[in-house]
Amino acid sequence: MIAIVDYGMGNLRSVQKAFEYVGRNTIITDKAQDLKDASQIVLPGVGAFKDAISALDKSDLSGILKSEIAKGKPFLGICLGMQMLFDKSYEDGEYQGLGIIKGEVKRFEVDLKIPHIGWNELIIKKRTPLFDGIEDRNFYFVHSYHASGCLAEDIETSCVYGYEFTASVNKDNVWGVQFHPEKSGDTGLKLLTNFTKIN
């Protein structure tokens, strides 16, 4: 059973439907025991960093997620869920993240339309099981902020929008993707299928 973290924000149902489409059982939950019993944990996210991290902290989910990650449970953060894995974000202020992966979240500084919306091609930096069998590297993005200052060994893929930015990260049993696999067609479904096979 895959646990999708419910902290009162995010595109939970669309992520759940994508996993169901590839034949995996899921539960949308904010209960500690469900997260402990799950085979994998997914943290989706849409919205403001401040509100999301505050909701995780208030519901005591931050500590539970860190504990399950420390035990080696496969974890996937999607979009804002990825951003919350880092040390801090500068979205509308300065706010502490979960501190699972080194780095900060900063706004795009480009002479292009913000937010960055649409399909973009990934640049593979290191191979992990998440991208097994994936030849089409185009994924769908919707974001105004991106990870910065990541360790080179944690960067799984990058992307170019005005300049090169980190598109996905991996550290041990933790993955984070800035793009939306649930909105990325068959390629995104393949990526989610790959995640379900990680144990």
The residue with tokens 């399909």 is: 119
Residue of 68, 79, 104, 146 marked catalytic: 79
Residue of 68, 91, 156, 182 marked catalytic: 182
Please answer whether residues 88 and 104 qualify as being in contact, where contact means their C-beta atoms are separated by less than 8 angstroms: yes
DSSP 129: G
DSSP 87: S
- 181: tokens are 């696999």
Is 156 one of the annotated active-site residues of the chain? no
Is 182 one of the annotated active-site residues of the chain? yes
What's the CA gap between 8 and 175, in Å, rounded?
Answer: 22
Alpha-carbon distance values, 112 to 106, 109, 117, 161 (Å): 16, 9, 11, 8
Would you say the C-alpha torsion 14, 73, 122, 133 has a positive or negative sign? negative
- 171: tokens are 């550290």
Residue of 116, 143, 146, 180 marked catalytic: 180
Is 135 one of the annotated active-site residues of the chain? no
| Of 148, 159, 165, 8, residue with least CA distance to 91 | 148
The residues carrying an active-site annotation are 79, 180, 182
